[in-house]
């Protein structure tokens, strides 16, 4: 799995021009669209929820990459699957124990969708390893989740490298390594270099004067 995927984050988008901006990102080569769903409890911010995902997911041909930064993901994942999510990523830290992580993954898969697991910057990547065979994606946060526009935390690079090595040692070839937070042309290149194959970028893309060109730059190997 060597294809590089750009997943523009709607958290930084201008909702007054949303559909035009999504079209520009797609024209630049984006394959996925990232939804940061925040509940004001698990993270200290509120973004958008089910109605937004349900509405936007039907207006384009991109993969709907839904990131749940919410408490009690087990209660909501099926509703997000039904709303149009293709990938549903939830947080390890939002689950009370390992059994709940597996239960959430099983529920997502029972809906015919892909399951992702995310970790905060302070969580060790090794905590994800027991769940790898139930996952289609691992999302490494390179900023504190909750707000866009933060600086990239270089410790994420070590996590990506360890996860990539674990994949090699265990012959795991169908699980994406995604990174989210502070992604730009420089940090994106660093992440690609150590094994990430999905780059979630918000401000770099949607705050750019050239959305299509910003996506294109992230797709280049430098």
Catalytic annotation, residues: 36, 180
Please give the backbone phi and psi of residue 63, each rounded to the nearest 5 degrees, phi first: -75, 130
- Map tokens 């509703």 to a residue: 79
The tokens 């909750």 sit on which residue?
146
**Listed residue (6, 65, 68, 80) closest to 34, CA to CA:** 65
Residue 165's contacts (CB-CB under 8 Å, 6 or more residues apart) are: none
Closest CA to 35 of 118, 121, 157: 118
């Amino acid at each position: 799995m060597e294809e590089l995927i750009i997943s523009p984050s709607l958290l930084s988008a201008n909702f007054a021009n949303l559909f035009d901006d999504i079209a520009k990102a797609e024209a630049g080569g984006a394959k996925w669209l990232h939804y940061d769903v925040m509940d004001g409890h698990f993270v200290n911010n509120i973004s958008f929820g089910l109605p937004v995902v349900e509405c936007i997911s039907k207006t384009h041909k991109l993969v709907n990459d839904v990131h749940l930064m919410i408490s009690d993901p087990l209660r909501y994942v099926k509703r997000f699957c039904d709303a149009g999510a293709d990938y549903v990523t939830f947080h390890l830290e939002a689950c009370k124990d390992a059994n709940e992580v597996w239960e959430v993954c099983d529920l997502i898969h029972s809906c015919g969708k892909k399951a992702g697991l995310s970790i905060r910057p302070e969580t060790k990547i090794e905590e994800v390893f027991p769940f790898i065979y139930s996952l289609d994606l691992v999302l490494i946060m390179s900023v504190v989740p909750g707000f866009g526009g933060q600086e990239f935390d270089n410790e994420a690079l070590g996590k990506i490298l360890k996860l990539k090595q674990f994949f090699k040692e265990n012959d795991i070839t169908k699980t994406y390594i995604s990174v989210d937070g502070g992604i730009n042309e420089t940090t994106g290149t660093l992440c690609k270099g150590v094994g990430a194959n999905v780059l979630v970028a918000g401000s770099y893309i949607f705050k750019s004067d050239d959305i299509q060109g910003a996506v294109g730059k992230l797709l280049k190997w430098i």
